[in-house]
């Protein structure tokens, strides 16, 4: 079968291609990327290797689609940050909830393999993080103007976020501390919303 025929087949059944990609995305996020060859992936989908090539040109293409699906899940991030029909507190909670749910099933294996084997795709992750920082900058500024957030310099708030994202981008940090992405997001944003000093301790500090 010629290249044009293969390309036509890939475009002729987008629903099946999407179904295959949904299954592969779940496998990649759970088991990482290094263990899979085209043979393994065909076995995973219970199809022949030839059929797999009808829908995808390479493993690299599938990994890229997987990453774009993950990033796509965060597509509502900016719109949530600007949703003035709900309070700033609720917006902040919905943003952290979106991140937490998106990363709930991503293993450290996936992150490590992506960083080691696909540096160009990892650069896309870094660009997305830069975009998130800009959205948060605007969100903090708007929240301070509205009197919702304390008057802490925005650059300090964003710096803490940037340090956090740098830490969770370091797979060795996650592995060494036995922390999942979901746990990291949950605990970081809980600390940011409520602080880390117990209320009783705060009372003692005020009296001293």
Mean pLDDT for the chain overall: 85
DSSP tag of 67: H
Mean pLDDT over 173-197 rounds to 83
Give yes or no for a contact between 105 and 26, defined as CB atoms under 8 angstroms apart. Answer: yes
User: Of the residues 66, 88, 110, which one is the last residue of a structural domain?
Assistant: 66
The per-residue pLDDT for range 148-182, each reduced to its tens digit, is 888 899 999 989 988 887 787 777 888 889 988 78
CATH number, residue 178: 1.10.357
What pLDDT is attached to residue 153?
93
Q: Is the pLDDT at 143 greater than 80, yes or no?
A: yes
Domain count, the chain: 2
Give yes or no for a contact between 193 and 179, defined as CB atoms under 8 angstroms apart. Answer: no
185 and 150 together in one domain: yes
Residue-number span of the structural domain to which 180 is assigned = 73-207
Model pTM above 0.85? no
The per-residue pLDDT for range 8-34, each reduced to its tens digit, is 455 568 899 999 999 999 999 999 999
What is the token pair recorded at 87? 């309070």
60 and 126 together in one domain: no
CA distance 167 to 71: 19
113 and 10 together in one domain: no
41 and 78 together in one domain: no
User: Could you tell me which residues come within 8 angstroms of residue 173 by beta carbon, excluding any fewer than 6 positions away?
Assistant: 167, 179
User: Of the residues 66, 83, 104, which one is the last residue of a structural domain?
Assistant: 66
Segment of 59-63, 89-93, 184-188 carrying the highest mean pLDDT: 59-63
CATH number, residue 48: 1.10.10.60
Beta strand residue intervals within 21-84, DSSP E: none
């Amino acid at each position: 079968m010629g290249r044009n025929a293969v390309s036509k087949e890939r475009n002729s059944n987008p629903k099946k291609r999407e179904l295959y990609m949904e299954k592969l995305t779940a496998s990649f996020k759970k088991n990482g990327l290094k263990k899979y060859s085209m043979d393994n992936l065909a076995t995973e989908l219970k199809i022949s290797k030839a059929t797999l090539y009808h829908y995808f040109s390479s493993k690299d293409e599938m990994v890229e689609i997987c990453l774009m699906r993950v990033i796509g899940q965060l597509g509502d991030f900016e719109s949530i940050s600007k949703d003035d029909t709900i309070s700033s507190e609720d917006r902040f909670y919905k943003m952290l909830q979106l991140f937490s749910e998106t990363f709930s099933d991503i293993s450290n294996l996936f992150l490590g393999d992506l960083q080691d084997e696909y540096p160009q795709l990892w650069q896309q992750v870094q660009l997305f993080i830069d975009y998130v920082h800009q959205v948060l900058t605007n969100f903090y500024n708007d929240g301070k103007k509205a009197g919702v957030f304390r008057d802490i310099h925005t650059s300090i708030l964003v710096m803490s976020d940037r340090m956090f994202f740098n830490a969770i981008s370091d797979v060795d940090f996650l592995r060494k501390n036995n922390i999942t992405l979901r746990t990291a997001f949950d605990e970081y944003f809980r600390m940011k919303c409520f602080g880390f000093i117990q209320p009783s301790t705060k009372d003692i500090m005020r009296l001293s």
